[in-house]
Amino acid sequence: MTVPEIDPADPAVLSDPFTAYGEARERCPVAKMRLPGMGDMWVLTRHEDAKAMLADPRFELSANSFMGLPGVPEHCKPYLRTMSEMNGPEHLRLRKLAAPAFTARRAEGFRARIEVIVGELLDALPDTGPVDLLAHFARPLPMDVICELVGIPAEERGLWREYGAAAVGGYGPAFLAAIPDIVEGAIEAVALRRTSPGDDLISQLLRVRDEDGDRFTDAELVTLVWQLVIAGQTPTNLIVNGLEALLTHPDQLAAVRADPTLVPRAVEELTRWVGPQLLTVPRFATEEVAFGDVVIGKGEPVMTAIVSANRDPRVYADPDALDVTREQPTGHLGYSHGAHFCLGAAFARVQTQVAISEILRRFPDLALAETPQRTPDGGTWRLSSLVVNR
């Protein structure tokens, strides 16, 4: 079996990763990819293999991640290694302490506060003319939610919006420049809640102890805030991807408008169909592991192609069709799988549900004002704008 090769910088891949990765998936369960500065990678293209690998302890995450970025100040590095870069007992300890604060029940309990934030952002939109929902709504929303969740004082939230914009824009100069400010802001937030607790996440986690008396250190809480800033930007791209999909599929939009109770199911389908994360971060094999006829050697890096696994016809009927009434036969991989399943998935789901519901409710005549343009990005499916008429 010939292993297909995917070039993430190929314009054809950038403009239509669904077709490119889908064709590779049907040829072989494993593809090859070369990333600048990282060398050759294995890429799992099918749902069953991808799900199995993400739950397999024989594949470990690297400890380097953001700490290895050039230009990161030394004093910030101790705070940049999150649970997402940890394995085994080290990861399990922190996950166990944090998990009770991120349950679906907690997220539902936070829904009313998200509704207020969504309403305020929509109230602030220009009264007339076309508006870019990415710039004026979807981009600031996740950071406003994180600030409310974490307990950032109101007077500081404008700065945190800038941090969120830098994070969602990718690993460029603005992102690197924001890292010291994010870390310092997180240190100040934890220190404030140590002396003045409230009903926010940091205050909750400062009170958490497990059955053995273990608890978060202040440094670990600072790192958790950093993780929320980085990972918590997913709804920005998911919301505008989802709105674009609905606006270009009038039958699906009509179905959601006719039955607003479909929104939670529609959000799951949109996450499967146009979820922003195309690939998982690399994991490294601790021993030889075979996928079909392909053997991944010890120490070799492997990624999951979420973009193809979530459209695998072995799992989904008519997988390239958008169907907001679809009952997912098995979980999509939009929030990964296994021990590193996205900690904030429940909050991302509620946030996206509220955002799409309220936009459709407020703007019954919502329509695209111009053809949406995408930002070329081999790892993220994202728009550079979503300009609409209301």
Which pLDDT band holds residue 173 (cuts at 50, 70, 90)? confident
Which distant-in-sequence residues (6+ apart) come within 8 Å of 116 by Cβ? none
Q: Sheet of 367-368: strands edge to edge?
A: 131-132, 387-389, 367-368
For residue 94, the number of C-alpha atoms closer than 13 Å in the C-beta half-sphere is: 21
pLDDT at 164: 84
Residue 231 has pLDDT above 90, yes or no: no
Q: Which residues have CB under 8 Å from 377's CB, separation 6+?
A: 14, 170
Mean pLDDT of the 182-194 span: 91
Residues whose CB is less than 8 angstroms from the CB of residue 293 and which lie 6 or more positions away in sequence, other chains included: 1
Q: What is the pLDDT of residues 294-342, one digit of tens each?
A: 999 999 999 999 999 999 999 999 999 999 999 876 789 999 999 999 9
* Nearest-angstrom CA–CA distance, 76 and 180: 6
**How many angstroms from the chain centroid is the CA of residue 288?**
30
pLDDT, mean of residues 36-64 = 91
Tokens standing for 232? 């918590």
pLDDT at residue 63, as a whole number: 66
State the DSSP H helix or E strand holding residue 118, giving kind and residue range, or none if neither: helix 111-123
Question: What band does 211 get if pLDDT is binned at 50, 70 and 90?
Answer: low
With CA atoms as reference, report the closest residue to 237 among 374, 138, 343, 125.
Answer: 138
Per-residue pLDDT, averaged over 119-136, amounts to 95
Q: How many CB atoms lie within 10 A of CB 44?
A: 28
> Higher model confidence: residue 193 or residue 169?
193
Q: Is 345 left (phi over 0), alpha (psi -120 to 50) or beta?
A: alpha
Give how far Cα 92 sits from Cα of 212, 226, 339, Å.
14, 18, 8
What share of the chain has pLDDT > 90, as a percent? 73
Per mean pLDDT, which of 72-76, 97-101, 271-275 is the most reliable? 271-275
Confidence of residue 210 (pLDDT cuts 50, 70, 90): low
List, for residues 249-276, the tens digit of each pLDDT value. 999 999 999 999 999 999 999 999 999 9
Rounded to an integer, the average pLDDT of 224-239 is 90
Q: If one looks up domain 5-389 in CATH, what number appears? A: 1.10.630.10
Query: Average per-residue pLDDT in the chain?
Result: 92
Cα–Cα dist 209/195, whole Å: 18
Evaluate if pTM is beyond 0.75.
yes
Cα 284 from Cα 46, distance rounded (Å)? 18
Among the ranges given (76-80, 105-109, 362-366, 374-378), the one the predictor scored with the smallest mean pLDDT: 76-80
**Residue 374's pLDDT is what?**
93
Find the mean pLDDT for residues 184-201. Answer: 90
Identify the weakest region by mean pLDDT among 65-69, 138-142, 161-165. Answer: 65-69
Q: Is the pLDDT of residue 74 over 60?
A: yes
Of 128-132, 211-215, 313-317, 367-371, the poorest mean pLDDT is in 211-215
- The full set of domain ranges for the chain reads 5-389
Distance between CA atoms of residues 208 and 97, nearest Å: 7
The mean pLDDT of 191-202, rounded to a whole number, is: 90
Q: What pLDDT was estimated at residue 68?
A: 60
Q: Is the pLDDT of residue 77 over 70?
A: yes
Name the residue among 27, 37, 34, 26 with its Cα closest to residue 9. Answer: 34
pLDDT-based confidence at 65, cuts 50/70/90? Answer: low
